[in-house]
């Protein structure tokens, strides 16, 4: 695992947005950020899942979170602009954004990739990340030193047979991250990507249905890197794709 020892209260007074916060890695990251002192903004598609995470955070007597229901597949530029305005009016600024939500699409031989599926994967995994980042950067610039984190994959810099749409989308994600990282100094925003590695979630089970879950990392196991990139210890880290394990 990424070698970082998490310090108590290291995210105190930070406001952090997590996309895909209702399930999988995003859910665990949101809960950990809240436990470490952050106010979390939970963005995702299924409201009931976000409400469950909200309730868990409230039950632990942590800072009250906010919920933003948004389907990244159909959202428009105006939706993202409105979301960012709401964040600024409610919280004043954003200290961190974990762009975690994405979709796997279908794995298939390249010549059989369904055009609509390819477009849907690109919409969620690339276009929505672009629009999210564009809308959120003004809120991130209002914080003293903020952290923008994209989510890549092992197929985000090395193509793999049958992983067409998803793999291409993760290459684009790393491109987005590198372009933004090169435009800003770390004194304002640092931009990086996480490659979580094989982690026990619904997405992983869809991709590898026969895998023994006991053999792969849990979402809790990979949290050191997720916390590190939001904590002040990473203020000088920029333009990197880091492996969580």
Between residues 35 and 73, which has the closer beta carbon with respect to ligand NDP?
73
Q: How far apart are CA 79 and CA 123, in angstroms?
A: 14
Q: How far is the CB of 215 from ligand NDP (least distance, A)?
A: 12
- DSSP H stretches of helix in the chain: 24-35, 47-59, 77-91, 115-122, 128-141, 164-183, 202-207, 223-228
Residue tagged 């809240």 (tokens): 34
Count of residues making up the chain: 245
Tokens coding 58: 């409230």
In angstroms, what is the minimal distance from the CB of 152 to ligand NDP? 7
Torsion-angle region of 24 (φ positive above 0: left; ψ -120 to 50: alpha; else: beta): left
- Point out the residue whose Cβ comes nearest to ligand NDP: 24
Closest CA to 204 of 194, 215, 188, 193: 215
At 137, list the tokens.
Answer: 């950067």
DSSP class of residue 108?
B
Positions in the binding site for ligand NDP (CB under 6 A): 20, 22-26, 44-46, 49, 71-73, 100-103, 124, 151, 153, 196, 198-199, 201-204
Assess whether 162 carries a catalytic annotation: no
Closer residue to ligand NDP in complex, CB, 69/235:
69
d(CA 103, CA 105): 6
> At closest approach, how far in Å is the CB of 101 from ligand NDP?
3
Q: Smallest distance, Å, CB 237 to ligand NDP?
A: 19
Our CB check for ligand NDP shows the closer of 103 and 234 to be 103
Dihedral of the CA atoms 154, 157, 160, 166 (nearest 10)? 80
Residue of 80, 166, 184, 228 marked catalytic = 166
Nearer to ligand NDP, 143 or 222 (CB): 222
From the CB of 174, what's the least distance to ligand NDP, in Å? 12
Burial class (CB in 10 A: 0-12, 13-18, 19+), 37: middle
Instruction: CB nearer to ligand NDP: give 102 or 238.
Output: 102
The catalytic site residues sit at: 166
């Amino acid at each position: 695992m990424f070698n970082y020892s998490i310090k108590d209260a290291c995210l105190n007074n930070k406001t952090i947005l997590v996309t895909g916060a209702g399930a999988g890695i995003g859910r665990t990251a949101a809960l950990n950020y809240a436990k470490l002192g952050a106010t979390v903004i939970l963005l995702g598609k299924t409201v009931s899942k976000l409400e469950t995470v909200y309730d868990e955070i409230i039950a632990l007597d942590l800072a009250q979170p906010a919920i933003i229901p948004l389907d990244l597949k159909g959202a428009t530029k105006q939706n993202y602009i409105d979301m960012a305005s709401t964040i600024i009016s409610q919280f004043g600024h954003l200290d961190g954004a974990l762009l975690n939500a994405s979709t796997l699409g279908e794995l298939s031989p390249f010549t059989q990739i369904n055009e609509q599926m390819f477009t849907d994967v690109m919409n969620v995994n690339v276009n929505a990340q672009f629009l999210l980042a564009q809308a959120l950067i003004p809120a991130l610039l209002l914080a003293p030193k903020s952290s923008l984190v994209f989510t890549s994959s092992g197929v985000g810099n090395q193509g793999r047979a049958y992983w067409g749409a998803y793999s291409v989308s993760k290459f684009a994600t790393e491109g987005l991250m590198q372009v933004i990282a090169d435009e800003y100094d770390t004194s304002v925003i640092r931009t990086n990507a996480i490659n979580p590695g094989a982690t026990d979630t619904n997405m992983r089970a869809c991709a590898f249905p026969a895998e023994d879950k006991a053999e792969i990392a849990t979402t809790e196991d990979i949290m050191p890197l997720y916390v590190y990139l939001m904590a002040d210890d990473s203020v000088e880290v920029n333009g990197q794709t880091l492996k969580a394990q």
